[in-house]
Amino acid sequence: MSMLRPAFVFLALATPALLASDYDAMFSAMKKAWPQCETVAVVCDANGSKPSLAALTGSATGLKVIVVDVKGPQDMGKAIGTLSGRKPDAIVLLAGDKVAGDGSSAASFLIQRMAGIKIPTAATTEAGVKQGAALGIGPGTGGKLLSNAKVAAVAGVAVPAGATPL
């Protein structure tokens, strides 16, 4: 049993670095496709998504990050109001967030409302791109850069060069 403990501790310590590299790829793609992007926002249950949020903010070098804390779908209207007033350059979905993660109805609501006011969304999963994120790259895309050209056009941003359209 003592042999397993050090391995488990190593894996636990290595996990945030792996998450950070996932967000590194996303931010790199965002900066290339949308060079005007200086501020990103994340809508999530901040307490429930601490590891992912820490990895994301650690990878957001040179970007201002706005975190809008939500505890359930009932908070999404208020989050949209906050974001409409703050006008970030992009929204980033946290794949595993229990409230506004990829695939959730709250994320769909967020993506649609933000695209309508010309704020694109980025994701780390294919599901996020299919849902309406303008770009996606990360573990949930098999490392491929994906794009949703229809949503990118609505949000008024460029489709990333070399992206596979969905």
- Whether 5 is in a domain gets the answer no
* pLDDT on residue 19: 60
Domain enclosing residue 160, as ranges: 19-165
166 has pLDDT over 80 = yes
pLDDT in tens, 24-35: 999 999 999 999
* pLDDT on residue 6: 42
In sequence order, the 6+-apart residues with CB closer than 8 A to the CB of 144 are 137, 164
8 has pLDDT over 90 = no
The CATH number of the domain where 30 resides is what? 3.40.50.2300
Strand ranges, E, within the chain: 39-44, 64-69, 90-92, 121-125, 135-140, 146-147, 164-165
- Whether 11 is in a domain gets the answer no
- Whether 10 is in a domain gets the answer no
103 confidence band (pLDDT: 50, 70, 90): confident
pLDDT in tens, 42-93: 999 999 999 999 999 999 999 999 999 999 999 999 999 999 999 999 999 9
Helix (H, G, I), strand (E, B) or coil at 122: strand
* pLDDT on residue 22: 77
The number of folded domains in the chain is 1
* Rounded Cα distance, 163 and 5, in Å: 42
* pLDDT on residue 20: 64
- Whether 12 is in a domain gets the answer no
Question: Please, what's the b/e burial string for 51-90 (b: 16 or more CB within 10 A of its CB; e: otherwise)?
Answer: ebbebbbebbeebeeeebbbeeeebbeebbebbeeeebbb
Give the strand pairing for 121-125 and 90-92: parallel
* Rounded Cα distance, 161 and 138, in Å: 16
Helix (H, G, I), strand (E, B) or coil at 119: coil
- Whether 2 is in a domain gets the answer no
* pLDDT on residue 151: 92
- Whether 13 is in a domain gets the answer no
Q: Could you identify the residue written with the tokens 């350059």?
A: 89
7 has pLDDT over 80 = no
pTM for the predicted model, two decimal places: 0.85
112 confidence band (pLDDT: 50, 70, 90): very high
